[in-house]
Amino acid sequence: MPCIITKYKSIILFAGIFCLFSFTLEAQKKSLIEIKNSDDIRAELKSESQLTVFNGNVFITHENIKMYCDSVYQFRGDNRIVAYGNVHIISSDTVHIYGDVLKYYGNTKLAEMRDNVKLKNKTVTVTTEFLDFDMNESVGYYFDGGKIVDTNNTLTSSIGRYYTRQDLLFFKDSVEVLSNDYTLKSDTLKYNTLSKTAFILGPTTIENETETLYSEDGWYNTATGISQFFKNTTLNSKAYQIKGDSIYLDKNNETARIFDNVELKDTVNNIILQGHFLETFKNTEEALMTDSAVFIQVAEQDSLFLHADTLTISKDSADYELIKAFHHVKFFRPDLQGKCDSLVYTMQDSTIRLFNDPVLWAQGNQMVADTIGIETQNQKLKYLHFRGSSFLTAKEDSVFYNQIKGKNMLGHVRDNKIYQLDIDGNGETIYYPKDKEILMGMNIAKSSNITILIKDNKIDQIKFIKKPDGNMYPLFEVEQEMLFLKNFRWFDGVQPKSKEDIFIWRNTPPHTAKSILKAESTD
Read off the CATH number of the domain in which 393 is found: 2.60.450.10
Q: Does residue 447 lie in a domain region?
A: yes
**Pure H helices in 388-501:** none
Q: Does residue 88 lie in a domain region?
A: no
pLDDT at 523: 61
- Those residues whose C-beta lies under 8 Å from the C-beta of residue 328, and which sit 6 or more positions away, are 307, 308, 309, 341, 505
CB 423: neighbour CB atoms within 10 A? 27
Q: Does residue 223 lie in a domain region?
A: no
Give me the residues paired with residue 192 across strands: 168, 197
171-219 confidence digits (pLDDT tens) = 999 999 888 888 999 999 999 988 889 899 999 999 988 889 999 999 9
Q: Does residue 129 lie in a domain region?
A: no
pLDDT along the chain (523 residues), means of 10: 44 42 44 94 72 95 95 93 97 92 96 96 92 95 91 88 92 89 90 90 90 93 90 90 93 91 89 93 87 90 91 89 94 94 92 95 93 88 94 88 94 90 93 84 91 84 82 90 93 92 89 84 67
Q: Does residue 453 lie in a domain region?
A: yes
Q: Does residue 284 lie in a domain region?
A: no
Q: Does residue 101 lie in a domain region?
A: no
Total number of domains constituting the chain: 1
- Domain of 419 in residue numbering reads as 358-490
Instruction: Please report, as a single letter, which amino acid is at residue 389.
Output: S
Spell 344-361 as b/e; 16+ CB within 10 A means b: bbbbeebbbbbeeebbbb
Q: Does residue 43 lie in a domain region?
A: no
Cβ atoms of residues 265 and 253 within 8 Å: no
Please state the pTM of the whole predicted model.
0.78
